Structure 1
């Protein structure tokens, strides 16, 4: 079990570094399922140690996701500003101008 938890942490980091958000989402779901199962089964000190490491890695990945979200918000806002200019051409074209 310890190796599986350790590998999940490595996989989560790798997915975030590769910006493969679908893999991050899949691993996040798997981690939630694992934690639910472990809560029912109980854990050993070795498993708890690996879970603490996984929790730290998971928190870093969440931070990375939040940072990427801010970058995308900025890009979207910039795109919206540019789009207004492009829409103005369409309005101008309706009046028989630029096409």
Structure 2
């Protein structure tokens, strides 16, 4: 597989992993991108490869924003759960005191 195909394939892998919320697969794709960039660093880039890498970079940024949004949503849910848990514990404690 040539570099252009790999670049495009990795972009698709990012999208599929984020859409499936498959975070381990997303990490694998991210590591594969890092390896590819490292391997390509020593060789000159054609205009076509440069454009493909720029598109991949933009795509990576978009996927990063999606992940950040998801992370923020999960943090909020965790805060709400913690807040509700504290309330449930207080209510349970209050109910136990009334029973005594």
Alignment TM class, shorter chain as reference: 0.7 to 0.9
CA distance, structure 2, for counterparts of residue 51 and residue 21 of structure 1? 22
Q: 1:46 aligns with which of 30, 45, 48?
A: 48
What's the offset of the Cα at 1:19?
Answer: 1.1
- How well do the aligned residues superpose, as a CA RMSD in angstroms? 1.9
Match of 2:19 in 1: 17
1:24-64 Cα offsets, whole Å, 9 max, x none, are: 11111111111111112232222111101101110100000
TM-score if structure 2 supplies the norm length? 0.85
Q: 1:61 aligns with which of 60, 63, 67?
A: 63
What's the offset of the Cα at 1:91?
Answer: 7.1
Q: 1:74 aligns with which of 76, 85, 96?
A: 76
Aligned residues: 97
Tell me, which stretches of 5 or more residues in structure 1 are unaligned? none
TM-score if structure 1 supplies the norm length? 0.86
